[in-house]
């Protein structure tokens, strides 16, 4: 006897179903589909018979027409092109694809290099490329990763129907190659993942597999590849016409899966054709449930039904291969509160129902399936310590209570989490992650469980992982190393930088050679910079790094910026007995020696200059190696005239002698008021005023 098993995740996915139904419900006049609505020849033919035209290029669509964008999506500029040509767009892009488009657009705008994992020629991939603002690459082979990715900041997304197993291998190899940041977005459709997992399980447990769907369907072909990996006898069918039962009759177990672009009708046709063979008629009841024959249902059997209508009393559903609707009471639905409007967009979807009663009328229930599943979960796995979840429904004096199927669940207060829990009521309505400590199956069925053991294990595992990472970090770093780190947060005394996942401190004094009042004046949170390792203290788990040590010092650039003879403008920053230091720029001070302040004799620099005065001075000496710059203010002042004078000797004979200018006394400047020298007053004006006052 042959056992036939049909995968639950078979037939149209929600995105494909929406696109096909939208196309079928449109008036066909002047309506075009850009590319095949789905990769299924039968569906494409059906739309063509309805009058819809399939084209491959926008240029083939006349102005003013209507275009359907299929679930694969299109490049971003297609929307503006259609708007400019008055083409009405009916957008059937899958929600998962739209999410990927948004990710690509946002990450690309931030300067990330986009990597799309998928088939280069697949329409979804070509559409995604049209949402990239910068460079992008398509990868579909984990053994052929482009070398150019090594130096890029990457954003990785995936074709929604790509192989999940292959995607993980590609990601692993890219991370090994890339030396910069790698942001991974797992954009494979969850329906695709579930479909692939179910295909894998069926292939492992069946002697033969049938994969039904369009031969040019990417997701169906991936199911075929996956099934072939675990089963030696896999048959690829476009539809029931491709079925040759003579190839199957000797197999005791056969699994059937279909792609996301395969209508349920095609899978049913395959099942009906198999039923025509007497060898399998006895077992097809488990698959087809005897068309329109409710009496063949068995209590406890799970059937798959299609939602056809939603009313205030509940749903109307169609059983497999039946045209007769059956009422499903809202009380039997698995929902917290029934609302007909919530099910309007689910019409056409299938749900699993349990046969509860056969007479006097057939009674089906969805919520009983959930209860049975919860009951089944109390089998070997949970008894062996597997984690399970429940929603806390209340409290008592000793802890929290919940319900799981026909079992009551009790969590003692000490088992809620590590440490003391003072307020138990805050857990009401919250989901608890539990592990069974004791299961009472007789009398009042009860599970005594603990959440604390799970949280404690996770904490211990995280601590162990942290210690391993720290050990690896300190084993691979040394003082003097140049490292790359991302600024995570800043404080008044410095920045905490993540280097290979470890927090290092860049002290504010090690950010700039000229000093800074705020870390944010030098470093920006979220950005990556290069730093030099200055100090490592493995015992206290502290690493000090410096940013300024990799930047040129101000004096390193002086030789290229200044030359002897050049005039600078600066501010007096400090005064010493032998002169004044003038700040030429931040980090560069020049010395004006007391002899270079004025042509006249000055007792002290402070008698002429004040800290904060702005002055012009000429560079008269420059030694970059010694970090010395000598300046002169008097070199910019007019040199005073020196006039000779005649003197007679006592004997009356005339004799001309060169006389020296009389030395001025300190009293000559005693009439300067203390605040008479203003900032910016030239030294020439100061001296002129002094002479005038005398």
34: which residues sit within 8 A by CB, 6+ positions away? 55, 56, 58, 61, 67, 68, 69, 70, 74, 78
Distances (CA, A) of 534 to 500, 538, 550, 687: 16, 13, 11, 53
Q: Is 60 left (phi over 0), alpha (psi -120 to 50) or beta?
A: alpha
Could you tell me which residues come within 8 angstroms of residue 472 by beta carbon, excluding any fewer than 6 positions away? none
The residues facing 318 across adjacent strands are 306, 325
Q: 119 and 125 in contact (C-beta within 8 Å)?
A: yes
Distance CA 403, CA 295 (A): 34
What is the Rg, in whole angstroms, of the alpha carbon atoms belonging to the chain? 42
- What is the DSSP code string of 566-595? -EEEEEEEEEETTEEEEEEETTEEEEEEGG
Angle, to 10 degrees, between the axis of helix 164-177 and the axis of helix 190-205? 110
The enclosing H or E element of 107 equals: helix 95-109
The strand pairing partners of 328, in sequence order, are 315
Angle of CA points 676, 678, 682, to nearest 5°: 105
Question: Angle at CA 252, nearest 5°, toward 248 and 254?
Answer: 60
For the question of residue 566 being annotated catalytic, the response is: no
Q: Which of 17, 119, 124, 275 is catalytic?
A: 124
Distance from C-alpha of 152 to C-alpha of 113, rounded to nearest angstrom: 6
Residue from 549, 552, 553 nearest 507 by CA: 549
Which of the residues are catalytic?
124
């Amino acid at each position: 006897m042959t056992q036939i098993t049909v995968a639950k995740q078979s037939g149209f996915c929600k995105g494909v179903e929406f696109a096909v139904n939208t196309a079928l419900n449109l008036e066909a006049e002047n309506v075009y589909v850009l590319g095949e609505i789905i990769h299924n020849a039968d569906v494409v033919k059906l739309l063509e018979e309805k009058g819809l035209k399939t084209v491959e290029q926008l240029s083939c669509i006349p102005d003013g027409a209507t275009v359907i964008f299929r679930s694969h999506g299109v490049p971003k500029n297609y929307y503006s092109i259609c708007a400019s040509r008055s083409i009405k767009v009916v957008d059937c892009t899958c929600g998962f694809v739209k999410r990927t488009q948004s990710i690509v657009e946002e990450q690309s705008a931030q300067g990330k290099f986009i990597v799309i994992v998928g088939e280069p020629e697949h329409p979804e991939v070509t559409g995604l490329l049209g949402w990239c603002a910068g460079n992008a690459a398509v990868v579909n082979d984990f053994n052929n990763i482009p070398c150019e990715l090594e130096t890029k900041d990457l954003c990785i997304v995936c074709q929604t129907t790509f192989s999940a197993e292959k995607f993980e291998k590609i990601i692993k190899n890219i991370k090994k190659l890339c030396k910069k940041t790698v942001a991974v977005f797992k954009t494979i459709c969850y329906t695709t993942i579930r479909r692939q997992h179910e295909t894998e399980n069926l292939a492992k447990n069946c002697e033969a597999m049938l994969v039904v769907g369009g031969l040019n369907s990417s997701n169906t072909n991936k199911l075929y590849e996956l099934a072939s990996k675990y089963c030696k006898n896999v048959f690829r069918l476009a539809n029931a016409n491709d079925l040759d039962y003579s190839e199957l009759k000797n197999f005791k177990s056969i699994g059937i899966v279909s792609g996301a672009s395969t209508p349920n009708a095609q899978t049913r046709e395959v099942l009906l054709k198999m039923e025509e063979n007497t060898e399998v008629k006895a077992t097809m009841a488990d698959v087809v449930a005897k068309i329109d024959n409710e009496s063949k249902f068995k209590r406890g059997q799970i059937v798959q039904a299609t939602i056809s209508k939603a009313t205030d009393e509940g749903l109307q559903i169609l059983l497999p291969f039946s045209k007769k609707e059956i009422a499903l009471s809202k009380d039997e639905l698995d929902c917290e509160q029934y609302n007909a409007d919530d099910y309007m967009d689910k019409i056409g979807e299938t749900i699993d129902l349990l046969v509860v009663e056969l007479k006097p009328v057939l009674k089906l229930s969805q919520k009983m399936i959930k209860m049975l599943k919860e009951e089944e979960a109390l089998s070997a796995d949970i008894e062996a310590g597997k984690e399970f979840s429940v929603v806390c429904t209340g409290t008592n004096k000793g802890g929290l209570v919940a319900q799981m199927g026909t079992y009551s669940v009790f969590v003692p207060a000490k088992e809620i989490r590590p440490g003391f829990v003072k307020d138990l009521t805050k857990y009401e309505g919250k989901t608890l992650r539990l592990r069974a400590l004791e299961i009472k199956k007789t009398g009042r069925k009860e599970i005594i469980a603990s959440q604390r053991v799970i949280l404690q294990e996770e904490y211990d595992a995280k601590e162990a992982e942290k210690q391993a990472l720290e050990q690896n970090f300190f084993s691979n770093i040394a003082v003097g190393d140049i490292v790359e780190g991302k600024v995570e947060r800043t404080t008044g005394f410095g920045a905490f930088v993540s280097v290979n996942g470890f927090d290092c401190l860049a002290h504010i004094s090690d950010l700039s050679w000229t000093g800074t009042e705020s870390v944010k004046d030098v470093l920006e949170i979220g950005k990556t910079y290069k730093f030099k390792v200055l100090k490592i203290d493995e015992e206290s788990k502290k690493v000090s790094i410096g940013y300024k040590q990799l930047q040129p010092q101000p004096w390193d650039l002086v030789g290229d910026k200044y030359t002897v003879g050049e005039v600078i403008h600066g501010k007096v920053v400090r005064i010493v007995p032998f002169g004044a230091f003038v700040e030429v720029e931040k980090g560069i001070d020049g010395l004006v020696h007391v002899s270079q302040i004025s042509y006249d004799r000055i007792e002290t620099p402070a008698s002429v200059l004040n800290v904060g005065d702005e002055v012009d001075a000429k560079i008269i000496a420059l030694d970059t190696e010694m970090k010395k710059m000598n300046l002169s203010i008097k070199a910019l002042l007019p040199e005073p005239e020196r006039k000779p004078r005649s003197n007679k000797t006592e004997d009356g004979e005339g004799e001309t002698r060169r006389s020296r200018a009389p030395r001025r006394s300190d009293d000559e400047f005693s009439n300067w008021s203390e605040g008479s020298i203003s900032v910016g007053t030239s030294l020439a004006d100061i001296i002129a005023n002094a002479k005038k006052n005398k």
